[in-house]
Each structure stands twice: as C-alpha cells, then as structure tokens.
Amino acid sequence: MAVGQRVLEVAAFPRAGRLARVREWWEQEHVFGYGLILPALLLIVCLVAYPFGMAIYFSLSDYWVGSPGQFVGLDNFREIFKNDVFHRTVYNSFVFTSIAVLFKTLLGVWLALLLFRTFKFKRLIRGAVLLPWVIPTALSTLAWWWMFDSLFSVVNWTAIRLGIISPPGPNWLGMTSYAMTAVIAVNVWRGLPFFAIIVLAGLVSIPREYYEAAEVDGAGSWGRFRHVTLPLLKPVLAVVILFSTIFTFADFNIVQVLTRGGPVNTTHLFATLAYQTGLVGGNLGQGAAISLFLFPMLAAVVFFQLRYIRRE
Amino acid sequence: MIVGVRSRGARLRSAAFGYANIIPFVFFALFPFYYMVITSLKNDAELYNLKAVPFLIETGVITDHYWYLFFKTEFWTWMKNSLIISVVATSVSLVISTLAGYSLARLRFPGVNSFGTAVFITYLVPPTLLFLPLSQVVVWLGISDTIWALIVTYPTFLVPFSTWLLMGYFRTIPREVEECALVDGATRMQTLLRIVLPMAVPGIVCVVLFGFTLTWNEFIYALTFVSQTANKTAVVGVTADLIRGDIYYWGSLMAGAVVASVPIVIVYVLFLDYYVSGLTAGAVKG
C-alpha cells in the first residue's frame, strides 16, 4: 500500500493530469464506499443469490446428479406433497424446533440468572458452560451417539443403577418413541450456551436502580423478576429466540450424525431429508424443492428482525 | 450487629443456592467431553464390558486408540486440510468484510442502508438452504472434491457474519478521529488502514476467532463437496471415515473427536472473553 502510494505521488508530480484525477475520483465518498463493498457484494451475488436462484430452478426441473434436467413445473412439489416421509418431516421439524427452542429459552434464562450472581470461579464456570457451543458439533454429537448406544449406553447404565428405569432400558436411537427425545436433548445441550450468554449480556445491561426501586416497593425476588427483569429482557429474548428458531429449524449436523433421520424417518428434518434425497439419492430437483421449505421460516424471521431493528 | 450477622447468613445461603443450581449445568455441559476423553483411553475389553463402571478406567489407561488414529488413518492429512482451509478462508473473509464493514458503517452513499440489510439477510441464511446448488457450482468451477471447494464457499457465511460484527465495532470509533486525519491530508485508504483499523483490533480479533471456529467446525459443506479421503477436513474425516460397517471403533473414534477439537479448545481457552463479547455483539448489536 505504501509503495503504491509513493508511486502515485511521484507520478503525479510531472504529469499532474490523469493519475491525480483518478485519485480525486477514488477519494469521493460514494466511489470509495462502493469500491469497498464491491468484493463482498460480488461474493453475495455469485455464491448466495445466484445459488438461491439455482435452487429455485432445480426445484422446478428433473435435475439429477450428472444430468441437467428439463423444466417440469411443479411436479417435484406435487410428488413431495404426496410423500409420507415428507409429511413426517414437516411434523418432525415443527416438533423439534418448538420443543428445543422452548427448553433452550427456559433453561437459558435460568442459567443466565445463575451466571449473573457473583461466583468465585466466574470465568471458569462461564468457560465450562459455553464449551458445547464452541466444540465442533459433529464431534461432540459422536460422544452423544456413544452415550446413547443401544447396548453400552451410559445414560441407561446410570438410570438403571439409580433405579429410575428397569434394564435393559430404552434403545434411544433405535426406537421411534425415543429418538426424537435424544435429538432434542443434544440440540438443547448444544444451543443452551448461546441463549445463556446473550441473556446474561441483557441482564448486565439492566440498571441496578430498577431493582432497588422494586425492592423499596416491597417486591420479592419473583416480583422483581416478573416486573423488572422480564420486561427489560424482552427485546434481547426476542432476538435470541428468532435467531435460534431459524438455525434450529435448519439443523443438519446433530440429526445426520445421531440418527440419519431414522428410525423410520421419525427424526428427519428438512435439511437431512434434502441431503438424503438430493445427494445420497441423486435427485437434485426434489432435494432442492425440499430444502426450499426452509425459506418461509427464514423469510418470517427476517421480517420480524427487520421490523424489530427498524423500531429501534 | 444482628443485622450484619443475618445478612451474612443470608449471603451464604444465597451463594450455596447458586452453586447448588449451577453445578448440574456445568455437569451437563462437560460430561460428554469427559466421557469422550475417558472412552478414548480405555481398552476395548473394558469398553465393551457391561459389568464395568463406564465413568471410570479400571483396567489401566492405554494410548492404543491414539496410536491407531495417528499412524493407521489419514488423520494428520485431515488436520492439515482443516488448518489450511480455516486459515485461508478466514483471512480472505477478514479482508473482504473489513472493507465492506467500514464502508457500511461509516460512509454515506446512495443505497448504503439496503446493502446493510442485504448483508444482514445473508447472515441469517442457513448453509443448509444452499448446499445443493453450491455443490453444483463447485463442480462447474472445477474445484469439486478439493479443499478449494471449501475455501471458496466458506466465505459465503463468514463474510456476512464478519461484516455485521465489524460494522458494530467501527460504529463505536469516534468520527472526529477520522475527520482529523482526512483534514491533515491522509487519503481515505490511509485513514482506514492507519487510524481506524488499529482502533478496531478487538473486533478484528473476534472475527478471526469466530472465522477459525466456524470454518473448523463446519460440517455440511465439508461432507457434501468433498468425498476423497485425502481432501477431507478433520471433522468430516473423523465423523465419516473412522466408522466401518457395523463394528464401531469407539476408542479411536473418540480419540479422533478429542484431538480434532484440541485446536479449538486451545484458541478458546486463550480468548474466552472475546468469544463472549463476539457472541453478544454478533447477535444483539445492529
């Protein structure tokens, strides 16, 4: 940069003409501004917007891996709607997202309140609690997979020893009634730190005076939480819940590693079904159509976010 | 004085209550990692013995699973791939998003707000929405099944996130500092590089940390765009290539999970506070 600068200055001296004009042109606020966002804009157009257009095109064609297909209109969607596996996936996605987000919210607020109290090993505890969010999800899910093993499950071993269940205990990942519970548990485990840390930031920003005022008015700890903390936390909670909703809805890693959508498709989400259909099965057209079902949820979240931000 | 005593008692009770409640959370958060490590150090006979206590190692610590992982698999190739991909993708994204973030946070030109919104929307797009068309894009670019497929596609989620994060940091720098530099005859680029960037160092550290973490941990693109064992990332290599048929090599599988997490754990331990502030800024600010 410095070299280029010097060259520019030296060159500008004898022929003050063109280079100086280029420099003057570049120094204009709008030219400089557009220039700086150009690389990011190109990236977004070529590798986000264009692929999105392609996804729509794929969904309207009979495109298979290795053979560019023809336009078939809404055939893919018609087929999907007739497919029982897809119905199950829609049901799974809503169950998975609503229960996981609900637990993450409740436990997240509770954990944030606990973290907010001054502890001796504050930094250590925060570090430990945030760890599941930082470690590669696919790898930590491998540990969960082992913990839910059909024969050697440590969860069952513990529960049997404590007398909570009778041996051999449920086959977590192999039985339709338990697999969803397992997948949700891992998602909550992984997403809880995100909630807790952000809600904690919200708690820190609440002025102490409000609590003191509430105390003077005779509010107990529940009263203070109900009438001071919760209302002031609402904006932060709204953002966190919206964020988490879209990323939980679009989850892939946990289900892919833990159950691959099984048993009998009871844990398939849109992303895993799209992967199964589009890449494993090779039917890109239908796979793209399935993954596009993530879009309405994304649109809804974006809509709320933008409205919310604009109001600020 | 009775008041003092009572308040100390109350404080003790409150602290005990806090600890008693936080311990289950800490246990819940850490147990899978503990179990991962302990499994990787146990011999198979104990590992698959239903009578053994799974929480402990009773018949001695062994390192066989690690030896197997290090010398009988392509583990180090995967680690090397992950490192190259993370470093290159993060660096490229940092440059692109620093420029864009500064422009969107500071300069005034027609359309600047719409660009900001576009970046924000892209930030919210989950990778699972676009992996199918992107798998075809990398085929057309001729980089399918190479680490370049990931280096090129990772900025699609890094740049929006980093730009968004940096916009927040740039906004906190007082405008007057830049105006002084401009009045003194510095060019706009000089102002950005010499005045603004040094003041935005915490933001840049955050972007580098999150970039490294997100690329190292990425799963669906790495699983989808690369199928050759020699070009896989650590996360996908361990998850997909250490499992064979019906027999699970749980010991070496957990050893792989442990070692592949180590780089992230080191960075995390060193920069914990940046993770906390970046997480907060990324989600809430803006």
Distance from CA of A74 to the nearest CA of B (A): 18
Across B214-233, average pLDDT: 95
> Is A256's CB within 8 Å of B25's CB?
no
> Is A30's CB within 8 Å of B224's CB?
no
Pick among B99, B109, B128, B266 to test the A interface (most A CBs inside 10 A): B128
The confidence score (pLDDT) of residue A220 equals 84
> Is B224's CB within 8 Å of A275's CB?
yes
Predicted complex ipTM: 0.91
Picking from B36, B133, B257, the nearest residue to A51 by CB comes out as: B133
Q: Is the pLDDT of residue A2 over 90?
A: no
Q: Choose between A220 and A308: higher pLDDT.
A: A220
Of B69, B21, B11, nearest in space to B41 by CA: B69
A196: its two tokens: 């807790």
Dump pLDDT digits (tens) for B27-42.
999 999 999 999 999 9
- pLDDT grade, residue B184 (50/70/90)? confident
- pLDDT grade, residue B246 (50/70/90)? low
Residue of B nearest to A291 (CA): B129
Q: Is the pLDDT of residue B70 over 70?
A: yes
> Is A152's CB within 8 Å of B128's CB?
no
Give, as one character, the DSSP assignment of residue B194.
I
Dump pLDDT digits (tens) for A101-150.
999 999 999 999 999 887 788 889 999 999 999 999 999 999 999 999 88
Which chain A residues are closer than 8 Å to B280 by Cβ? 197-198, 201
A197: its two tokens: 């840390």
The confidence score (pLDDT) of residue B69 equals 92
Residue B247: phi and psi, rounded to 5, are -90, 125
Residue A67 pairs in a beta bridge with A64
Which chain A residues are closer than 8 Å to B260 by Cβ? 136, 139
Residue A301: phi and psi, rounded to 5, are -65, -45
Which chain A residues are closer than 8 Å to B162 by Cβ? none
In chain A, what percentage of residues exceed pLDDT 90? 59
Dump pLDDT digits (tens) for A231-278.
999 988 988 999 899 999 999 999 999 999 989 999 999 999 999 999
Dump pLDDT digits (tens) for A82-98.
999 999 999 999 999 99
Residue of A nearest to B242 (CA): A142
Of B88, B74, B97, B229, nearest in space to B161 by CA: B97
> Is B284's CB within 8 Å of A198's CB?
yes
The confidence score (pLDDT) of residue B4 equals 44
Q: Is B83 on the interface with A (CB under 8 A)?
A: no
Distance from CA of B132 to the nearest CA of A (A): 6
> Is A291's CB within 8 Å of B125's CB?
no
> Is A51's CB within 8 Å of B130's CB?
yes
The chain-wide mean pLDDT, for chain B, equals: 90
Q: Is B286 on the interface with A (CB under 8 A)?
A: yes
Picking from A58, A115, A125, the nearest residue to B133 by CB comes out as: A58
Distance from CA of B1 to the nearest CA of A (A): 22
Long-range Cβ pairs for the range B45-54 (8 Å, 24+): B47/A152, B47/B250, B47/B251, B48/A152, B50/A151, B50/A152, B54/A152, B54/A154, B54/A157
> Is B187's CB within 8 Å of A5's CB?
yes
> Is B35's CB within 8 Å of A143's CB?
yes
For chains A and B, count residue pairs whose Cβ atoms are closer than 8 Å.
279
Task: Give the CATH superfamily of A75-311.
Answer: MetI-like (1.10.3720.10)
Dump pLDDT digits (tens) for A200-227.
989 988 888 888 888 888 888 888 888 8
Question: What CA–CA distance (Å, rounded) separates A21 from A27?
Answer: 10
Tell me the domain boundaries of chain A.
Answer: 2-59, 75-311
> Is B156's CB within 8 Å of A47's CB?
yes
Picking from A133, A136, A247, the nearest residue to B216 by CB comes out as: A136
Tell me the domain boundaries of chain B.
Answer: 2-62, 73-284
In chain B, what percentage of residues exceed pLDDT 70? 94
The confidence score (pLDDT) of residue A218 equals 86
Sign of torsion over alpha carbons B54, B56, B59, B61:
positive
Residue of A nearest to B32 (CA): A143
Which amino acid is it at A114? L
Which chain A residues are closer than 8 Å to B110 by Cβ? 30
Question: What CA–CA distance (Å, rounded) separates A308 from B24?
Answer: 35
Which amino acid is it at A228? V
Question: What CA–CA distance (Å, rounded) separates B83 from A166?
Answer: 47
Residue A71 pairs in a beta bridge with A61
Question: What CA–CA distance (Å, rounded) separates A249 from A273?
Answer: 13
> Is A270's CB within 8 Å of B128's CB?
yes
Residues 6+ apart with CB under 8 A from B232: B74, B77, B78, B81, B222, B226, B240, B241
Fold (CATH) for B73-284: MetI-like fold (1.10.3720)
